[in-house]
Amino acid sequence: MKRWIAIGLVVLILGGIIVYNKVLHPAPGASAGGGKGGSDTKGGSGGGKGGMAGGAPASVNGFVVISQRLREDVVSSGSLLASEQVDIYPEISARIIQLNIQEGQPVAKGALLVKLFDTDLRAQLQKLQAQADNARRTEERNKQLLARGGISQQEYDIVTTNLRSSLADIELVKANLQRTEIRAPFSGVIGLRNVSNGAVVSPSTLIARLQQISSLKLDFSIPEKYGASVHNGSQISFLVDGSGKTSQGVVYAIEPGVDEQTRNLRIRARVNNGSAGNGQPLFRPGTFARVTLTIQNEQSLVVPTQAVIPQTRTNQVIVVKNGKATFKDVTTGLRTAGTIQILSGLQKGDTVATTGLLFLKPDGPVKVGKVISLPGNELKVATN
């Protein structure tokens, strides 16, 4: 049995060597000496066709570089604020004797809103005025005596000091009387009041809030890299919840420094607040707004995204000119979903390849089979 197994193994090994030498790895001269097969014309002809195919121009799709209006918008979140706003607090502790606040109604600058109890202060003022009159008469008599030598200069100085002290006390009481009247510091709309007539209030008691809403402020922030593109007078557009209409505003103030935490630049715009038609203002302070600021809006050269070949340090495009492929370095700018802005390296009217880029070689033959185009006249980039 072992004998037959050994014979079988020898036969298999010899057969494998024969197959390897004759079929899988023939001698170099075998095909050459193969009679007609080695000098077959068809075989030579096939080799000729392969050479022609290798030298034929590659067929690609092209794109003619055009100039389109490229618009870059920065979209940010903002808040509408009152142009002027103040919380009304009393300066002294006293009882309200007059309350002229009509909630939600406009008030004029200087209008009396709240009057506090002041009877004690007025009585004190009358007393001080009587003392001041007496001190004034005493000063006049002593002035005459001083001129005749009836009193000394020191005695006269004491009298004049008493007069000035009485007058100062009168001014102090008048200032306290002014604190019993709370007047509107500017024209605006008074909010909801938190007190009633007759209530005793203190400097910590919030009476109401006054807001000027004929025009509003719109605060928003943008990334610091766009700071150089914004200036006073820049136009912004915004949209608030519940309103399908886009409104406009004008930038009038820019924070000098960048926020260290967010690296954003705070900007403030002015917004005219008209009427909604039902007697109510169009916008209310505190409303959230989605702000759009146009950073760039100009004509630029653009190419399709697939035409740009990223390199380690630069980007390249393949320009087809006179049937040959030319590799050019380009500087890119803004990107949209399907296009890239070209800042340098191309000219308007150049034809760039958009397909078959991996098979093209410098100065290699190229045939443009189809020219593609971009739809529309304006490209828009929105940055959040």
Summarised one tens digit per residue, pLDDT across range 175-203 is: 999 999 999 999 999 999 999 999 999 99
Question: Mean pLDDT for each 10-residue chunk of the chain (384 residues)?
Answer: 67 66 50 38 36 62 84 89 95 95 93 95 95 92 88 90 94 95 95 94 96 94 89 92 86 93 93 78 92 82 88 89 89 83 88 87 87 62 57
CATH classification at residue 264 = 2.40.30.170
- DSSP code, position 262: T
Domain-embedded: residue 1:
no
d(CA 304, CA 216): 43
Q: Tell me which residue range forms the domain holding 145.
A: 84-201
101 and 181 housed in the same domain: yes
- In this predicted structure, what is the pLDDT of residue 131? 93
d(CA 111, CA 212): 14
- In this predicted structure, what is the pLDDT of residue 32? 36
Structure-token pair, residue 136: 């004034």
184 and 121 housed in the same domain: yes
Alpha-carbon 16 to chain mean position: 77
Domain-embedded: residue 338:
yes
In sequence order, the β-bridge partners of residue 291 are 76, 238
User: How many structural domains is the chain composed of?
Assistant: 3
Chosen domain end from 201, 231, 246: 201
331 and 271 housed in the same domain: no
Nearest in space to 59 (alpha carbons), one of 309, 373, 360: 360
Number of Cβ within a 10 Å radius of residue 315? 17
Domain-embedded: residue 39:
no
146 and 183 housed in the same domain: yes
339 and 293 housed in the same domain: no
pLDDT tens readout for residues 354-367: 888 888 888 888 88
Residue labelled with tokens 């707004």: 289
233 and 331 housed in the same domain: no
191 and 230 housed in the same domain: no
90 and 153 housed in the same domain: yes
- In this predicted structure, what is the pLDDT of residue 69? 80
Domain-embedded: residue 8:
no
117 and 218 housed in the same domain: no
Structure-token pair, residue 179: 């604190």
3-state helix, strand, coil in the chain (%, to 5): 30, 40, 30
